[in-house]
């Protein structure tokens, strides 16, 4: 049984065929999915899917791409929305200086408001970071000093150095289908240094379909392919990797614990 720790079931390419996507996931042995929100207008739909489906959970947050369009989102609004019993995480939030779709200072401010919500609720923070290693480490380190919170750096593609800094802060690291890509040798090296009790897997679907599904819209069923690949890299049976990453998911996202 696998957990997809990060998917977007309400995004185009998945939402139109959500029932089939969920059936495929269950058939592939995916027992739990975390449906991630990225914009306030999505929150009710993302939570609605989690209300209907017992194996789907939800997050509330604003993607760094949307920081400019959500300047009015305050910590209290995230906290309020996260009281829903199926909301188990805050995010995705963070910094994306690769696409720079929102002003960097607005991204930083939004990130800190999400961190405050994670601290206040005790729910894990789901962090997106692209081409923003120094700022990600600085903000997380500084905020951790103000009061502890938990979280995960999702779709990890950064350096081993950033991985170490995240682990030192007590955060988890989630690997997506990128780890299966031919040119991801550095990421595979990083994967080998992540302690087994801090590792998660995800699809980030509908993006980033892993080998052997590249070119298709990604869906949660494919987390099984990433897990199989990663188990081979880490020289362990797939069943062990599945058990470890499932245990880690519920140790982090305690609100989802059976
Ligand atoms: Zn992301
Ligand atoms: Zn995402």
Could you tell me the distance, in angstroms and rounded to a whole number, from the CA of residue 228 to the centre of ligand 1? 22
- Model pLDDT, residue 53: 98
Could you tell me the distance, in angstroms and rounded to a whole number, from the CA of residue 38 to the centre of ligand 1? 9
Residues 6+ apart with CB under 8 A from 12: 206
Whether pTM exceeds 0.95 = yes
Question: pLDDT tens, 216-232?
Answer: 999 999 999 999 999 99
Give the CA distances from residue 13 to residues 17, 118, 221, in Å, rounded to whole numbers and listed in that order.
7, 30, 14
pLDDT at 154 over 90: yes
Ligand nearest to the CA of residue 93, numbered in listed order: 1
Could you tell me the distance, in angstroms and rounded to a whole number, from the CA of residue 155 to the centre of ligand 1? 6
Ligand nearest to the CA of residue 65, numbered in listed order: 1
Q: What is the pLDDT confidence band of residue 152, given thresholds at 50, 70 and 90? A: very high
Average pLDDT of the residues of the chain: 97
Question: pLDDT tens, 178-216?
Answer: 999 999 999 999 999 999 999 999 999 999 999 999 889
Q: What is the pLDDT confidence band of residue 257, given thresholds at 50, 70 and 90? A: confident
Could you tell me the distance, in angstroms and rounded to a whole number, from the CA of residue 60 to the centre of ligand 1? 13
Pull the structure tokens for residue 174: 């989630």
- Model pLDDT, residue 56: 98
The CATH code of domain 2-252 reads 3.20.20.140
Average pLDDT over residues 48-71: 98
Ligand nearest to the CA of residue 157, numbered in listed order: 1
Do the strands 30-35 and 87-96 form a parallel or antiparallel pair, or are they unpaired?
unpaired
Could you tell me the distance, in angstroms and rounded to a whole number, from the CA of residue 7 to the centre of ligand 2? 6
Give the CA distances from residue 35 to residues 5, 57, 126, 139, in Å, rounded to whole numbers and listed in that order.
8, 6, 12, 25
- Model pLDDT, residue 258: 75
Average pLDDT over residues 97-119: 98
Instruction: Provide the percentage of residues in the chain whose pLDDT is more than 70.
Output: 100
- Which residue ranges make up each domain of the chain? 2-252
Which residue, among 191, 204, 205, has the nearest Cα to 244 in the 3D structure?
191
């Amino acid at each position: 049984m696998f957990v997809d720790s990060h998917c977007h079931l309400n995004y185009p390419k998945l939402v139109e065929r959500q029932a089939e996507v969920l059936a495929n996931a269950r058939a592939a042995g995916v027992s739990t999915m975390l449906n991630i929100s990225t914009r306030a207008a999505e929150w009710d739909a993302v939570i609605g899917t989690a209300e209907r489906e017992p194996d789907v959970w939800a997050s509330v947050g604003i993607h760094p791409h949307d920081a400019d369009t959500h300047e009015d989102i305050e910590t209290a609004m995230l906290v309020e929305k996260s009281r829903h019993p199926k909301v188990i995480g805050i995010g995705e939030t963070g910094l994306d200086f690769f696409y720079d779709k929102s002003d960097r200072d607005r991204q930083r401010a939004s990130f800190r408001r999400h961190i405050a919500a994670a601290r206040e609720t005790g729910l894990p923070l789901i962090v997106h970071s692209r081409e923003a290693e120094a700022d990600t480490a600085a903000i997380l380190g500084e905020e951790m000093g103000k009061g502890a919170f938990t979280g995960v750096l999702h779709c990890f593609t950064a350096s081993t150095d950033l991985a170490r800094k995240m682990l030192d802060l007590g955060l988890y690291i989630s690997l997506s289908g990128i780890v299966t890509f031919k040119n991801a040798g550095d990421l595979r090296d990083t994967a080998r240094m992540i302690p087994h009790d801090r590792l998660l897997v995800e699809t980030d679907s509908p993006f980033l379909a892993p080998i052997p599904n590249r070119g298709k819209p990604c869906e949660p069923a494919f987390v099984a392919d990433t897990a199989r690949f990663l188990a081979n890299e880490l020289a362990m049976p797939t069943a062990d990797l599945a058990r470890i990453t499932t245990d880690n998911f519920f140790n982090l996202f305690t609100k989802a614990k059976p």
